[in-house]
Amino acid sequence: MKKAIFLFLVVIAGYFIFTGQSIDDRKWSVDPRMTQIIPSDYYGKLPLVQNIVPQNDKPRVYYTPIGTVLVNPNMRVHPTTLTTQSEVPITRHPTNPLILFASSNAARLVGGTWISEGCYVSTDGGLTWGGSDTTFTTPYTGHGGDPAPAITNNGYFFQSFLGYPTSGMFTAYSTNNGTNWSSITTLASGSQDKNHTFVNDVSTSPYFGRVYVIWSLFTASSPNCVVSYSSNNGTSWSPYASVNTSASGHYTQGVNGATMPNGDAVVCWQSPMSGSPYTGQFVGFSKSTDGGVTWNTNNNIYTCNGIRGNLFATNIRVNDFPWMSIDRTGGPRNGWIYIVTAEKNLAPAGSDADIVMHKSTDGGATWSAGIRVNQDALNNGKYQYMPAVRVDEYGGVNVVYYDSRNSAANTNAEVFVSRSIDGGSTFTDILVSDHSFAPAPIPGLAGGYQGDYIGITSGNNKIYPYWADNSSGMYMPG
């Protein structure tokens, strides 16, 4: 019997259910390996009055080949008129799916430069939200965005992030759902990039409770993926160590990590060219069976052709970072690994930006050919970009992404979730945003910057796509 799925759209986001001063001197602004484009010299102020777009107040019902889909109204997680919110990851408590922890790259450019990582928390499955545009660590200054939240089985919240104006990779933890935070731990100093935090939540694993932070070591001449981990709830951390050595003529970026059903730690990354145009050319993968001490690495599990560059007339910068999720249902596809990226000009992608998935059914040893996720017409000139993937508790594979298919002139974007219930062989597209928006750079930040990633999680028979748009007059989840 087909199960109804509920999409709870948390728009910075939503959920669905199947029934004044530039801060362009930050590393991610000026390093061409990160942006490929020249930093913006526009120092515009954020609008003080928002043009709020009316939202739907009733769920929408879709009857699809894979069942009935109920899409709830989009909602803002942390509305504000002072802070832009972009780069929006979301996670949930491993054993209590009512507890959700979302974040953002929060930047205040009015009344003084300030940047931090949002701490937005729901304890009722996304119905209501509380929190702040900063993670109140000790000290709470010196944050620099690139948020990466995680929750352990004992309810500890972890957040890793970059620093500004002091560069580095930092982390902190909370024992009370993000109300209070520990002092900051420095994992690395100097220029770093695109971190990810994940936990071993497998109770039978000898490394149960271990927390990993991975990132690209941009202080290296050829940046590679490195890892630091804590086995004592964040009290202390291992010295960072290399996961891989970057392939010749390439570097490692857009790292993403997850835990296998047996507790093994796995990491994937993009391998862009070392020089312009910095296109991602192949995806790498590594596995650790000893809690992150040693890693078995393959720098090239499959070839891709990323979309690194600009889209829309507004020159929105886009990337080809991978996102990974693992089936941990205990069902027939238990342990299958799914990775999505944005690609073009390499089958099955067309000449425009498409979302492509590769999967492994043998723990990462071998990988499938690419599967085109979005189901609009091939080579139609429309853009799909910035994907994230989540395997839900029933084994459904859910991919969220921005999409311009319904904009005749390619001026606007919406948000879709493509869902597969057959292990990624076929997908059904579901429009989850209840309004479109016109992608535009965030004033005062990097040239073309709209944020570099979005998020998705699941629980309570719901899927929670999480994204940011500027339909309210400034970027925030919603």
CATH number at residue 109: 2.120.10.10
Report yes or no on 473 lying in a domain. no
Query: How many other CB atoms sit within 10 Å of the CB of residue 41?
Result: 8
Domain annotation covers residue 272? yes
pLDDT at 5: 52
- CA–chain centroid gap for 155, Å, is 21
Backbone angles phi, psi at 30, to 5 degrees: -105, -20
Contacts of 210 (CB under 8 A, 6+ apart): 199, 200, 229, 230, 231, 265, 291, 292
Number of domain units in the chain: 1
> Nearest Cα to 235, choosing from 187, 199, 182?
182
Cβ proximity of 164 and 193 under 8 Å:
no
CB 133 within 8 A of CB 145: no
Residue 382's pLDDT is: 98
Residue 112 pLDDT:
62
Question: Rounded to whole angstroms, how far apart are CA atoms 71 and 62?
Answer: 8
Task: Tell me, yes or no, whether 447 lies in a domain.
Answer: no
Coil, helix or strand for 415?
Answer: strand
Number of Cβ within a 10 Å radius of residue 379: 11
> Which pLDDT does position 429 carry in this prediction?
97
- CA 409 from chain centre, in angstroms, equals 27
328 part of a folded domain:
yes
Q: How far is CA 218 from CA 69, 168, 272, 314, 415, in A?
A: 43, 10, 13, 28, 32
User: d(Cα 387, Cα 337) in Å, to the nearest integer?
Assistant: 16
155 in any annotated domain? yes
Q: What is the pLDDT of residue 256?
A: 98
The pair of structure tokens assigned to 394 is 């029933």
Q: What is the DSSP letter of 77?
A: S
Distances (CA, A) of 38 to 24, 112, 317, 445, 446: 10, 24, 11, 11, 8
- Residue position matching structure tokens 């089936």: 327
Burial of 172 (0-12, 13-18, 19+ CB in 10 A): buried
Q: Is residue 185 part of a domain?
A: yes
**CB 29, CB 446: distance < 8 Å:** yes
In this predicted structure, what is the pLDDT of residue 223? 97
Residue 66 in any domain: the answer is: no
Q: What is the pLDDT along the chain (478 residues), one digit of tens a residue?
A: 344 455 544 444 555 554 433 444 344 455 666 654 333 332 233 333 333 344 567 889 989 998 889 999 999 999 988 889 999 999 999 999 999 999 999 988 666 667 899 999 999 999 999 999 999 998 777 788 899 999 999 999 999 999 888 899 999 999 999 999 999 999 999 999 999 999 999 999 999 999 999 999 999 999 999 999 999 999 999 999 999 999 999 999 999 999 999 999 999 999 999 999 999 999 999 999 999 999 999 999 999 999 999 999 999 999 999 999 999 999 999 999 999 999 999 999 999 999 999 999 999 999 999 999 999 999 999 999 999 999 999 999 999 999 999 999 999 999 999 999 999 999 999 999 999 999 999 887 888 999 999 999 999 999 999 999 988 887 767 5
pLDDT of residue 57: 75
CA 10 to chain centre: 14
Range of the structural domain that residue 265 is part of: 79-437
The amino acid at 96: N
Domain assignment present for residue 7? The answer is: no
**Global confidence as pTM:** 0.92
User: Which amino acid, residue 129?
Assistant: W
